[in-house]
Structure 1
Amino acid sequence: MHPYQDPARPVDERVEDLLSRMTLEEKAGQLFHTMLMMNADGTPVTEADGETLELGTAQLVQDRQLTHFNLLGSHGAREMALWHNAVQEMAASTRLGIPVSLSTDPRHAFTDNIGASFNAGAFSAWPEALGLAAIGDPELVFRFADTVRREYLSVGFRTALHPQIDLATEPRWSRQSGTFGSDAKLTGELVQAYVRGLQGPELGPDSVAAMVKHFPGGGPQKDGEDPHFPHGKEQVYPGGMREHHLEPFRAAIAAGCSQMMPYYGQPVGTDWEEVGFGFNKGVITGLLREELGFTGIVCTDWGLLEDARIFGETHEARAWGVEHLGVTERAAKALDAGVDQFGGEECPEVIVELVTTGRITEARVDASVRRLLREKFLLGLFDERRYVDPDEAAETVGRADFAAAGAAAQRRSLTVLTDGPLPLSGRPRLYVENVDPAVAAAYGEVVADPAEADLAVLRLRTPYEERPNRFESFFHSGSLAFAQEELDAVLALLRTTPTVVCVNLERPAVLPEIAEHAAALIADYGASDGALLDVAFGRAKAEGRLPFELPRSMAAVAASRPDVPNDTVDPVFPHGHGLEI
């Protein structure tokens, strides 16, 4: 037994022993955190799929010596556990047997965006983070994160690529559903509860490491466009609120978050270098490390170095401000800036080249590898936590009490904007759109013609503009106003019969006409039809308050400042609005 394999020895001693035995190639592999997919039966994907993955699992683990992976897709709990163990077996067969660390984007709510999150599937279903913010209860967020921790542990996820604590200050930005809204103080309180729920009092074998994102706050995107794409790369602060966006990150660091992810955005018009945050030494070393005192792992957002094929489409690397540099020089600049790991990349040969040519010292690589290995030891991956029990996973994921807690949170998060006839009573004749008629039948008689109904129930989503390529279509951006044709159809229904309208707010919808004519208006952030109808019929209490304001017009949105919370003129509903019924 080598010293690093001895669980009785101190972690730092084990780290140094293992580091001393690693080749440069093995060290380089640690600096990459890329994606994997799995087969439905729990077996590893052995070949590239040509659309999302370039290499199969064995090539990445055994040939390129990577040990950090982000699982894509929704799967059964038992199958995920079996897959996890199979990948760990591959890693155990390598020269040093360094265990794999598996991560995941959020997968406990309703949004399904391959670039950001997955719907709950087998896991317990809760409202999106916006819904947790609408409730505003740190204790609930702690219980949520603790549930996530227990479900993740059972299938082998040891790093959560969340929470996302950007402030929702630009109403058009596509990533708001994953945030805690526009309130910096509340976001700080909730992220502290979230980190404690995932990690516990300190990082250990029962923890899931929290990778908090997106430093230093990704909300102020110019025109609300997202920096996954070149037309959305600029981040601006016309209201001078840069420090305000740092408040939640100060809270996360105070709570002991293990990892931090810088965003893609390229700051414009500040005293920071105008390069993406993953390349920005003033932001990562100067601000995050030196000023804020963060000592954990810094992992870039996905795809900063190389162009990638996603759904068969070519997407350029998010090397904003350094597009002119080659892959090797981009990697060097990011390492100079202070990052430890490259998300969504799998090119360790670039690190080897940087060291062998003298551009980067091996000591610099060692500094990052040391952080990465230390976390593996703390999480127990070298010891009792290397493998998971598929039977336990099947029993834990989606467990009845977890599912019940998520369902209760869905109901609490609903936000009553106008109440009209609420709460409803009796068994009215119901006309429903975008509601499961079988669910509605438990509350009234479902009819096919709105003219024959006593009441209609209509569910809508926040509008967005269709984008030309498949990957970008997952990021709902652009106008928040309903297209005239859709608005006319909605208003026709509202004139035909009294209608309870529920709008899913993944972003702040512009809906003054709907608010005026609906019999009642409710906002949701991820809730089942049963949750909505329980609230409408007074069987559950809605406690939600708007986590951001709802603007009156797109002209008001365009005139607002992207870095200033709740900055539109004369909103239809202000931040914090919500009625009790």
Structure 2
Amino acid sequence: MTDSPNSDDRPAELDRRYLDVTLDADDRTEILLAQMSLAEKAGLFFQAMITIGPNGTLADGDPAFAIPSTTEYLIGRQMSHFNVLGNTPSPDVMAEWHNRLQDLARTNRFGIPVTLSTDPRHSASDNPGTAVRTGWFSQWPEPLGFAAIGDEALVETFGNIARQEYLAVGLRVALHPQIDLTTEPRWARQIATFGEDAELTARLAVAYIRGFQGAELDAQSVATMTKHFPGGGPQKDGEDPHFAYGREQIYPGGNFEYHLKPFEAAFAAGTSQIMPYYGMPIGTEYEEVGFGFNRSIITGLLRDRFGFDGVVCTDWGLLTDANIYGDLFPARAWGVEHLSPRERLIKAIQAGVDQFGGEACPELLVHAVEAGEITLERVDQSARRLLREKFRLGLFDQADLDPSFALTIVGNDDFRALGQAAQSAAITVLSTGQKGLSLPLAAKVRIYAEGVDQSAGLDAVFVATPEQAEVAVIRLSAPFEERATRFENNFHAGSLEFMPAVIDHVAQISEKVPTIVVVFLDRPAILTPLIPLAATLLGDFGANDGAVLDVLFGKQEPRGRLPFDLPRSEAAVVASAADVPFDTANPLFTFGHGLSFDRPDP
């Protein structure tokens, strides 16, 4: 039958064959789609953030992110796609919340089930805009850590474990992997990537997708929303396009095609969804508007050249302004800031987008169709993709989750042990064998430590001052520039140089005792001043204190190799081309560098 924008033209009796499990996903999709009103279809187009209420109840909302009540989302706006915000409660409570959520969804006319998505939840990162701290889930290194190890089998094992943990609590879409290439060393988002090299990133992306989705998308899969097409690494000055000052993506080296290579591998691996980035390409053949509004990118490149027919969901917040932690941030409508939210929606849909991340305004789509600005045929094209994925994932056929089973799966001892070993394996020995210090350390050595939880070191004797110690261990994080708001400071951007006070402090300690410096490399910090000071210099990519100490005491082997070059100076970074890999002059350490304790610096 032909759809109509008027709900009173719907059939009086429903054709329930879309619930018939003997039919394939395409047939079930067509049966359901033919009966839906415009308003019901419009609800599919929006994927907003949702929170879990106390003790697994349905939440009233979250004022910090302007999130309405769950009932308003599902019943008032007829939405059925949500990104779970924040740290999760215990797995059994989350499973109970999921069941309550699906019960509410069943009260709608067709009982369309909710699809729950999540940012990464398996590392120590905690940025509400990009990642969630591990909590109950097993903890693993950051994706840069997997790149440092370089083992596809390990990445697939991680994906399979994460898939099991997600399924146990009802998470069915991973808003990852992030396979941008980090060719601009200052970029704030590279901790969640596989680094600078296209070939390595492509190999690990395939393993990651295979671990989450399996051989094909089905009821045991977690769909992957691979991002950020067509590659978000070459940001001007390394600034991130979450913010207006980072909206430009530049290609001074003419290297646009290099950034597509990992996506070609992801398409071959069958990734189910794609997320374009916020940035707007400057100085290319493509329209100079944000990728989510860019028909030459989404239809011309993604759909036509690569033949991708899965779901395309925008990055979060392209249409409307947002209040985050009390600060107002404009919509990331780069290049189309002059358009109204409704006009932005129309342009994005005309570009080829199926869904809007971080938005909850289906009335804009309804009004655009009623005004003749978007056709019903175009609405059906995207609604079909979104419904088809729900059927392929088995969401219409799933039973309630078992809360007790969730407790046995999420973060179980076996998963945690594998994750802990991977954190240690990713640690990269940059320099060692200086100042007479040999590693691994002997048991009961006296350690002066900064930035280390002393309860994690059962083999050590921690002392209060450097003068009392036989060795010092200092943990640092790669530097970044402070910005004006809380949300901005979740994104580590700006200079890669340590402040002089930090270097002076390390120097003072190293004069008194041989010092091991461990730097969390969420970006490729300028480590040049630390080389003469550190007896051993290590890079970590998301390792808890226990994982670091296991390496220092010889319980685990550090196997990391740098997933990017470490530049020698900030001047070299500034002079490099943002889109070209390995382009900083005379790097301090190059891609693939990594020593072992029995093979110190010559």
**Common fold, TM-score beyond 0.5?**
yes
Cα deviation 1:432-483 (Å, max 9, x = unaligned): 111112223x222211010111100110000001110111110011111111
Distance in 1 separating the partners of 2:375 and 2:75 = 25
Q: Which amino acid aligns with 1:541?
A: E
> In the alignment, which of 422, 436, 449 is matched to residue 453 of structure 2?
436
Task: Give the corresponding residue for 2:573.
Answer: 557
Q: Distance in 1 between matches of 2:342 and 2:30?
A: 28
For the residues of structure 2 that align with 1:448 and 1:11, how far apart are their CA atoms? Answer: 64
Question: Counterpart in 2 of 1:111?
Answer: 125
User: What is the distance in 1 between the residues matched to 2:460 and 2:74?
Assistant: 56
For residue 38 of structure 1, what is the aligned residue in structure 2?
52
TM-score between both structures, scaled by the size of structure 2: 0.95
Q: What CA distance in whole angstroms lies between the structure 2 residues aligned with 1:520 and 1:348?
A: 56
Which amino acid counterpart does residue 213 of structure 1 have in structure 2?
Answer: K
Cα distance between partner residues in 1 of 2:510 and 2:184: 30
Matched, 1:411 2:424: yes
Do the aligned residues in 1 keep the contact of 2:126 with 2:133 (CA within 8 Å)?
yes
Map 1:250-329 to 2 at 5 A: 250-329=264-343
Residues 506 and 533 in structure 2, CA contact (< 8 A), matched pair in contact too: no
Q: Does 1:147 align with 2:165?
A: no
Distance 1:395 1:17 in 2: 38
- Tell me what 1:525 maps to: 541
Per the alignment, residue 56 of structure 1 pairs with 69
What are the within-5 Å matches in structure 2 for residues 123-142 of structure 1? 123-142=137-156
Deviation string 1:375-409 (CA, Å, 9 cap, x unpaired) is 000111000x2531111111110011111110111
Structure 1 gap segments, 5+ residues each:
none
Query: Which one of 497, 522, 531 corresponds to residue 481 of structure 1?
Result: 497
Matching of residue 424 in structure 1 with residue 472 in structure 2: no
Residue of structure 1 aligned with 2:252, choices 238, 243, 247: 238
User: 436, 442, 445: which is aligned to 2:461?
Assistant: 445
- Separation of aligned partners in 1, 2:466 and 2:348: 59
> How far apart, in 2, do the equivalents of 1:466 and 1:388 lie?
43
- The aligned counterpart of 1:571 is 587
Distance in 1 between the 2:93 and 2:496 partners? 39
Equivalent residue of 1:496, what SS? coil
Cα shift at 1:515? 1.8
- Which region of structure 1 is more displaced relative to structure 2, 246-255 or 50-59? 50-59
Matched residue SS, 1:146: helix
Is 2:391 aligned against 1:377? Answer: yes
Residue 23 of structure 1: CA displacement?
Answer: 0.5
Letter in 2 for 1:495: E
SS at match of 1:517: coil
Residue 315 of structure 1 and its aligned partner are, at CA, apart by 0.7
SS at match of 1:352: helix
Larger mean CA deviation between 418-427 and 535-544 belongs to 418-427
Give the superposition deviation at 1:98.
0.3
Aligned to 2:413: 400
Q: Does 1:504 align with 2:520?
A: yes
Partner SS, residue 51 of structure 1: helix
In structure 1, C-alpha distance between the alignment counterparts of 2:230 and 2:192, rounded to whole Å: 16
How many Å separate the matches in 1 of 2:69 and 2:341?
Answer: 22
Q: Secondary structure at the match of 1:457?
A: strand
Shift of 1:313: 1.2
Q: Identify the match of residue 104 of structure 2 among 84, 90, 93.
A: 90
Give the length in aligned residue pairs. 578
**Which region of structure 1 is more displaced relative to structure 2, 477-486 or 339-348?**
477-486
Partner in structure 1 of residue 87 of structure 2:
74
Structure 1: distance between partners of 2:374 and 2:101? 31
1:255-312 residue CA offsets vs partner (Å, 9 max, x unmatched) = 0000000000010111100000000000000000110111100000000000011111
**1:154-165 mapped onto 2 (5 Å cutoff):** 154-165=168-179
- 1:88·1:386 contact (CA, 8 Å) conserved in 2? no
Matched, 1:2 2:19: no
Of 267-276 and 422-431, deviating more is 422-431
| Match of residue 22 from structure 1 | 36
Rounded to whole Å, the distance in 1 between the matches of 2:143 and 2:401 is 28
- Alpha-carbon offset, residue 13 of structure 1: 1.4
Give me the whole-angstrom Cα distance separating, in 2, the residues matched to 1:565 and 1:40: 47
CA distance in 1, matches of 2:504, 2:96: 51
- Is this contact kept in 2: 1:461–1:505, CA < 8 A? yes
CA distance in 2, matches of 1:339, 1:527: 37
Q: State whether residues 180 and 547 of structure 1, in contact with CA within 8 Å, keep that contact through their aligned partners in structure 2.
A: yes
CA contact (8 A) 1:156 1:387 kept: no
Matched-pair contact (CA < 8 Å) for 2:95–2:168? yes
One-letter amino acid of the structure 1 residue matched with residue 427 of structure 2: L
SS in 2 for 1:41: helix
- What is the SS of the residue equivalent to 2:419? helix
Aligned to 1:345: 359
| Aligned-partner Cα distance in 2 for 1:167–1:64 | 37
Is the contact between residue 99 and residue 386 of structure 1 (CA under 8 Å) also seen in structure 2? Answer: no
CA contact (8 A) 2:49 2:67 kept: no
- Percentage identity across paired residues of the two chains: 56
Q: Distance in 1 between matches of 2:190 and 2:62?
A: 31
Q: Secondary structure at the match of 2:537?
A: strand
Give the Cα–Cα distance (whole angstroms) in 2 for the partners of residues 494 and 84 of structure 1.
52
- Seen in structure 2, the aligned counterparts of structure 1 residues 472 and 521 have a Cα distance that, compared at 3 Å, is same
Which has the higher mean CA deviation after the structures are superposed, 93-102 or 485-494?
485-494
- 1:391 aligned to 2:408? no
Q: Is the Cα–Cα contact under 8 Å of residues 50 and 312 in structure 1 kept in the other structure?
A: no
Q: Determine helix, strand or coil for the equivalent of 1:435.
A: coil
Q: TM-score scaled by structure 1?
A: 0.98
Displacement, 1:580?
Answer: 1.9
1:463 to 441, 456, 479: 479
What are the Cα deviations for residues 471-513 of structure 1, in whole angstroms up to 9, with x where unaligned? 1110011111111112211111112210111000000011111
Q: Is the 8 A contact 2:50 2:67 kept in 1?
A: no
- 1:285–1:386 distance in 2 versus 1, CA, 3 Å: farther
How far apart, CA to CA, are the structure 1 residues paired with 2:114 and 2:563? 38
Match of residue 536 from structure 1: 552
The amino acid of 2:447's aligned partner reads L
CA contact (8 A) 1:127 1:413 kept: yes
Write the letter of the residue equivalent to 1:438: S
Residues 48-74 of structure 1: per-residue CA shift (max 9 Å, x gap): 332203311100101100000000011
User: Residues of 1 paired with 2:532 and 2:430: CA distance?
Assistant: 11
Cα distance in 2 for partners of 1:15, 1:437 equals: 56
Match of 1:516 among 521, 527, 532: 532
User: Helix, strand or coil: the match of 2:396?
Assistant: coil
Q: C-alpha displacement at 1:371, in angstroms?
A: 0.4
Amino acid at match of 2:596: E
CA distance in 2, matches of 1:437, 1:346: 46
**Contact preservation (8 Å) 2:51, 2:62:** no
One-letter code aligned to 1:524: D
